[in-house]
Amino acid sequence: MKTYGVIMAGGGGTRFWPLSRRKRPKQLLNLSGNDLMICEAYERLSLVTDEIFIVTASSQVEAMKAAMKDVREDHILVEPSARNTSACIGYAAMEIVKKHGDGLMIITPSDAYIRNNAEFARVLKIAARAAEDGKHLVTVGIQPTFPATGYGYIEMEGEGEVRKVLSFREKPDVNTAAAYLFQGNYVWNSGMFLWKASTILEKFEEFLPDLYQHLLLIGESMNTPKEREVLSAVYPDMRSISIDYGIMEKSEDILVVPGEFGWSDVASWDMLEKLHEKDENDNVCVGNVVAVDTKDSVFYADDGLIAAVDLAGIVVAKVEGTVMVCPKEKVQDVKKLVDALKEKKMEEYL
Amino acid sequence: MKTYGVIMAGGGGTRFWPLSRRKRPKQLLNLSGNDLMICEAYERLSLVTDEIFIVTASSQVEAMKAAMKDVREDHILVEPSARNTSACIGYAAMEIVKKHGDGLMIITPSDAYIRNNAEFARVLKIAARAAEDGKHLVTVGIQPTFPATGYGYIEMEGEGEVRKVLSFREKPDVNTAAAYLFQGNYVWNSGMFLWKASTILEKFEEFLPDLYQHLLLIGESMNTPKEREVLSAVYPDMRSISIDYGIMEKSEDILVVPGEFGWSDVASWDMLEKLHEKDENDNVCVGNVVAVDTKDSVFYADDGLIAAVDLAGIVVAKVEGTVMVCPKEKVQDVKKLVDALKEKKMEEYL
């Protein structure tokens, strides 16, 4: 069966502001020092797929094309507006069925860092085999390494490489997370999915009939001159709902393959600690940094210089003329800064 | 009697790095938002003097001339190298005696902020009258407002506007400073001095005979073609000693005029709190700053934007491509950063 990679790359990633901007979202950043996240995701997914589609936002398409020069133009799918993962996946599935022939979709986010690509490929191939019969929706779960409260969890049943999903659990409090970790039959929801394109469209018909009607309209216009026009007209009307809420939590016979391949959700500035080596004082310094009597901090300078003295647990990011400073334990609050800038109509900094 | 202002403006001010640089020292900065410190000092001193000399370093002379366009070239005295306040004052005194005629010198540093210029002028005029007889060295003391450990103190005797100096005291520990404050007969040493040019030269002869010999050589060359050559040859050999150690502490019959005119020693970044109004969360924000859930901090952005979230008691300064971050209670350690940059040979940032 033909295998199609689908990289969901339409998000904004405000928590990496000021590095991530509207026109330069997280997936177009080089956070590891090796390559842009989207390029790393593409290379990785190439290990297990025949061809790869990138679904992105119209605001990012030019930058995306510039970054992904070897990707065929018809493999970059442009969402007229952001309508969450259900619309994104439904659109990609319809595109595949109508233009390229039914096959297995391997869907991944664009903003996770994975250390061990070979192990990633091994796990994904197991998951792909489990999805090939067209009777199962398959997801890849991440073996938890700490009682994370920032991720959704998947409760599993059974043993072995491929297991049955008992339930999806929302982000837990820390006690619940610790219990999940202790019980051992929970994995983190990675947002990676594997299924046949025709299978997921059947699930849309069953669980998201309104979206399915929209997808049918879009599908009918495909390969006609009206295609872009219909997409632009229909897409913004689609209900914004995640594939987890919309289909995964309602569907039965979902399988999960637990994986351990050095996965990190690169969600916020403190995650640079996972991507870069710390110095002898547990500081991460990307770019030109002089840190005196400073420990446990994260510095990112695009150019110029960051000079820090007597700091502990502080994140400082300098990108062009913008400086962001916050405590490491509060990196999630970078979002508040983005909100404050919106409120103050300081759009030029977003 | 003719009255000459002398502004000592040769210092570096590393504690305001990265705003202060080798070629742009503190006195050439606009920290108050009104004008360069040197211009403010000049305007203020104009209230009580006929003409004003600026003594500066050769590395700063171009920037100084650009900043002080209305000052006659022969009123900018250029030290070939920095040799502390005795050499600086002796050079200015010799220049006055040899080229302009003996008269009263009113000597001030260039890096203090003074809120009440009218009161400053009133106090300086009292001090000037006390120095006019040529028999006294006069200094202006600052009425202490807190038990400062960062300043030298002057012990006074008597009452009234002009008092006798009993002793100069070095920077005290906090208990001693509190005792000084309680006793009431101590003022801060402001580094402002008033005396006749001929009087201070006599004191050089008496207390600093080696420096006096150097000054004689320099004086003999004045108004000859060899003047600059002799100055450049002799000046670097002069002993580096402060006027306080060299003359004031050894001399008798020193008078002090206590003053209260809103004086602040603008020595380090936290002093921006004295020059600017705080916001409702006790933050000082100079330039374009967005601070969310942040208190008691100091921000200085030359352009661009500083965005801070969840900070308390932090100083962030952005100047061109350089960002400096340190806790407010550790602003003295900015000097350590300058030292570290020197050690790493990152001269371009100094």
Q: What is the pLDDT of residue A300?
A: 95
Q: What is the per-residue pLDDT across A224-264, written as a single tens digit (0 to 9) for each?
A: 999 999 999 999 999 999 999 999 999 998 999 999 999 98
The CB density around residue A13, as the number of other CB atoms within 10 Å, is 21
Q: What is the pLDDT of residue A322?
A: 95
Last residue of a domain, one of A234, A265, A296: A265
The CB density around residue A224, as the number of other CB atoms within 10 Å, is 10
Strand pairing category for B137-142 and B254-259: parallel
Q: What is the mean pLDDT of residues A339-348?
A: 93
Q: What is the per-residue pLDDT across A132-156, written as a single tens digit (0 to 9) for each?
A: 999 999 999 999 999 998 899 999 9
Q: What is the mean pLDDT of residues A182-187?
A: 95
The pTM for the full model equals 0.80
Q: Are the beta carbons of A305 and B349 separated by less than 8 Å? A: yes
Whole-number percent of chain B with pLDDT over 90: 82
**Of A320, A314, A282, the residue nearest A301 (C-alpha):** A320
Q: What is the pLDDT of residue B299?
A: 97
Q: How far is A332 from chain B (nearest CA, A)?
A: 10
Q: For residues A180 and A284, state if they share a domain.
A: no
- CA–CA distances in Å: residue A333 to residues A270, A316, A326, B72: 12, 14, 8, 55
Q: For residues B22 and B130, state if they share a domain.
A: yes
Residue A196: pLDDT over 90: yes
Q: For residues A256 and A274, state if they share a domain.
A: no
- CA–CA distances in Å: residue A50 to residues A7, A42, A147, A179: 13, 12, 36, 40
Exposure on the CB side of residue A246, measured as CA atoms within 13 A: 26
The encoded tokens of residue B26 equal 């503190």
Tell me which chain B residues have a C-beta less than 8 angstroms from the C-beta of A320. Answer: 304
- Is residue B10 within 8 Å of residue B89, measured between CB atoms? no
Q: For residues B222 and B303, state if they share a domain.
A: no
Tell me which chain B residues have a C-beta less than 8 angstroms from the C-beta of A334. Answer: 309
Nearest-CB residue to B324 (from A301, A307, A344): A307
Q: DSSP states of B255-308 as a string?
A: EEEEE-S-EEE--SGGGHHHHS---TTS-EEESSEEEES-BS-EEEESSSEEEE
Tell me which chain A residues have a C-beta less than 8 angstroms from the C-beta of B341. Answer: 290, 307
Q: Are the beta carbons of B290 and A314 separated by less than 8 Å? A: no
- Is residue B284 within 8 Å of residue B272, measured between CB atoms? yes
Q: What is the pLDDT of residue B118?
A: 97
- Is residue B201 within 8 Å of residue B215, measured between CB atoms? yes
Tell me which chain A residues have a C-beta less than 8 angstroms from the C-beta of B325. Answer: 306-309, 311, 314, 316, 325
CATH of the domain at B122: 3.90.550.10
Q: For residues B48 and B78, state if they share a domain.
A: yes
Q: How far is B60 from chain A (nearest CA, A)?
A: 24
Tell me which chain B residues have a C-beta less than 8 angstroms from the C-beta of A281. Answer: none
Q: For residues A322 and A201, state if they share a domain.
A: no
Q: What is the pLDDT of residue B258?
A: 97
Q: What is the pLDDT of residue A342?
A: 93
B interface test, pick of A281, A286, A292 with most B CB neighbours within 10 Å? A292
Tell me which chain A residues have a C-beta less than 8 angstroms from the C-beta of B326. Answer: 308-311
Residue A274: pLDDT over 90: no
Q: What is the mean pLDDT of residues B29-39?
A: 88
Residue A30: pLDDT over 80: yes
Q: For residues B13 and B104, state if they share a domain.
A: yes
Q: Are the beta carbons of B340 and A304 separated by less than 8 Å? A: no
**How far is the C-alpha of A243 from the C-alpha of A249, rounded, in Å?**
9
Q: For residues B77 and B184, state if they share a domain.
A: yes
Q: What is the pLDDT of residue B265?
A: 83
Q: Which residue has the tokens 């997914």?
A: A45
Q: DSSP states of B126-171 as a string?
A: HHHHHHTTSS-EEEEEEPPSS--SSS-EEEEESSSSSEEEEEEEPP
Residue A329: pLDDT over 80: yes
Q: For residues A195 and A287, state if they share a domain.
A: no
Torsion of CA A129, A130, A131, A135, to 10 degrees: 130
pLDDT mean across residues, chain A? 94
Range of the domain at A293: 269-349
The number of distinct structural domains making up chain A is: 2
Last residue of a domain, one of A213, A240, A265: A265
Last residue of a domain, one of A219, A237, A265: A265
Q: What is the pLDDT of residue A111?
A: 84
Radius of gyration of the CA atoms of chain A, in A: 21
* ipTM of this complex prediction, to 2 decimal places: 0.79
pLDDT band at residue B281 under the 50/70/90 scheme: very high
Q: For residues A321 and A247, state if they share a domain.
A: no
The CB density around residue A60, as the number of other CB atoms within 10 Å, is 25
Q: For residues A135 and A274, state if they share a domain.
A: no
Q: For residues B195 and B299, state if they share a domain.
A: no
Q: Are the beta carbons of A322 and B304 separated by less than 8 Å? A: yes
By C-alpha distance, the chain A residue nearest B318 is A323
**How far is the C-alpha of A142 from the C-alpha of A140, rounded, in Å?**
7
Q: Look at residue B316 and give its three-state secondary structure.
A: strand
Residue A23: pLDDT over 80: no
Residue B295: pLDDT over 80: yes
